[in-house]
A and B are shown apart, each in its own frame.
Chain A
């Protein structure tokens, strides 16, 4: 099995998703099943092949370094779960 319970716990922590303890074993099985199926990529000879990150083979365009939007805090905060005096309210970040 490619992925064991400890790896699931580690990856879930990295992904910031709380997975209940009783889900860990079944997740390990599911993810291993998918990765076992993916292993067949090993059959492909990719020596000297350039990795392909995009099908658009151009350099990214540059634009003028000017402000094009903004100045509307009410719209920015419109969907925030919690706000106060024109700011986002978030949990304490620094202890």
Chain B
């Protein structure tokens, strides 16, 4: 679109600081990019007036010498975050027209630090999906296409709008959320960086709840350093979220570029799964070689319960979702479809307001929590969850971080997997373990497959050790020298 939209967040902040351009100029360039990219369906709400107001206010603060760490940087916000006075729907019909009277803590933190909002980003409905196809507002299209093909590909999900917007240079960075891989898998599918921090690092207050013990916000960006800059602003203890951790926020960007010499990197053998494309295996080997060259020690480790993580997740997450989504009853906000009685009104409202995947998960969750099945399914899954977390604890006795592929394939075509729920769920096979254990995980773009589509590597760290992930991520980024960009067709 223009040179300004091609900048990294770091370069844009430096340019603003040097008065090379104003936030208003930077923001206008991104507004034009957003307007010109409607074919991607990445934004569900554009807020150009608000963006200009915020940009001018940012310019005024900078002129007074009161610039915050993100002063004047235009960002996109996943529609799962409540934004005061701006429609927030979680990409669901049941929340059409919902304009929160409050601002989520994470977005409040971004505005406190001077960021500018371009609008709300598309996603899978209630963050339930791995392809963005469950959105009530239609799927997002990946800006990347296979070489020589023009099939529309998924940007991944659930944070597909965030991933597509960052990859297509519509915003300098975006907020996203990750319950089972919803930041990392879209990052891998779009050649972007995404980090799910430690559970509790970012406040969940004002983020529409899906599965409360797994949901965690994080940034998507075009470089590891940009992701670190964004996470530093998004993080922090919040008394309004009882699971928010009362710990200080490290200076994450300072970890980028730090030596990784002597770090022990675990390679879990259980992540070598049948049917994985050989290119992904080769990329993994390449990643191991890069970290070895950077002075890391590579250690084979075993996480024996890995294969049980997805089935455990598909009990825990729907169970929590069925409880969380009980609030959509058509009484206080959102859609109401009048029926003949109170129960009839509830049932019609929820039948009309929820999409097929959300209903499927509510039904599964209701079933596994119902009398007679609670012990066999729900309690069993919670025990398996403990086993999975124990696997990681044992690995931490031998290693400082783990390296794995992010996803078992590159981006696939829209419509390719939408008929088979279990095939779709398998997208999260390498990412979901981290949510169950509460650990931080990051996806870094590391190469292209034979079709020219991006592939990512995942780094997993100890609790609250995002810093090491930023150091390792920056090392991989440097070694991979990933510069490919999607060819503009939109």
Contact = CB atoms under 8 A, between A and B. Distances in A.
Contacts of B312: 41
Contacts, number: 158
Nearest to A78: B101
Interface in A37-88: 37-38, 40-44, 46, 49-56, 60-61, 63, 72, 75-76, 78-82, 88
A34 B365 CA distance: 12
Given A61-B239, A82-B336, A90-B331, 18 more contacts: A8-B363, A12-B363, A16-B343, A17-B354, A30-B360, A37-B314, A38-B377, A43-B308, A44-B383, A46-B384, A49-B383, A52-B382, A52-B436, A54-B199, A56-B199, A80-B331, A81-B331, A90-B342
Interface in B342-380: 342-348, 350-351, 354, 359-360, 362-364, 366-367, 370, 377, 379-380
Interface of A is mostly: loop
Interface in A1-56: 3, 7-8, 11-19, 27, 30-31, 33-35, 37-38, 40-44, 46, 49-56
11 contacts: A8-B363, A11-B370, A15-B366, A19-B359, A34-B422, A43-B308, A51-B385, A54-B243, A81-B334, A90-B342, A91-B345
Contacts of B213: 53-55
A56 B311 contact: no
B281 interface: no
Nearest to A54: B213
Interface residues of A, number: 50
A95 B386 CA distance: 47
B338 to A, nearest CB: 7
A3 B370 CA distance: 13
Given A33-B422, A44-B308, A52-B389, A16 B329 contact: yes
Contacts of B100: 79
A14 B384 contact: no
Interface of A: 3, 7-8, 11-19, 27, 30-31, 33-35, 37-38, 40-44, 46, 49-56, 60-61, 63, 72, 75-76, 78-82, 88, 90-93
A40 B312 CA distance: 9
B98 interface: yes
Interface in B420-448: 421-422, 436-439
A95 B307 CA distance: 51
Given A16-B346, A79-B98, A53 B382 contact: yes
Contacts of A60: 242
B422 A46 contact: no
B308 A40 contact: yes
Contact of A79 (B99, B246, B380): B99
A18 B350 contact: yes
A89 B438 CA distance: 41
B351 A63 contact: no
Given A46-B387, A51-B383, A56-B199, A14 B366 contact: yes
A18 B347 contact: yes
Contact of B311 (A11, A12, A40, A91): A40
Contacts of A49: 383, 386-387
B387 A44 contact: yes
Contacts of B370: 11, 14
A63 to B, nearest CB: 6
Contacts of B332: 79-80, 88
B305 interface: yes
B238 to A, nearest CB: 11
A41 B333 contact: no
B407 interface: no
B351 A17 contact: yes
Contact of A93 (B246, B342, B380, B386): B342
A72 to B, nearest CB: 8
Contacts of A43: 308
B335 interface: yes
B315 interface: yes
A37 B422 contact: yes
B367 A3 contact: yes
Nearest to B97: A79
B206 interface: no
A88 B334 CA distance: 13
Contacts of B239: 61, 63
B200 A56 contact: yes
Contacts of B173: none
B330 interface: yes
Most buried by B among A8, A17, A18: A17
A51 to B, nearest CB: 3
Contacts of B294: none
Nearest to A94: B342
B422 A52 contact: no
Nearest to B198: A55
A31 B311 contact: no
Contact of A11 (B330, B363, B380): B363
Interface in B161-192: none
Contacts of B359: 17, 19
B386 A11 contact: no
Nearest to B421: A34
A19 B386 contact: no
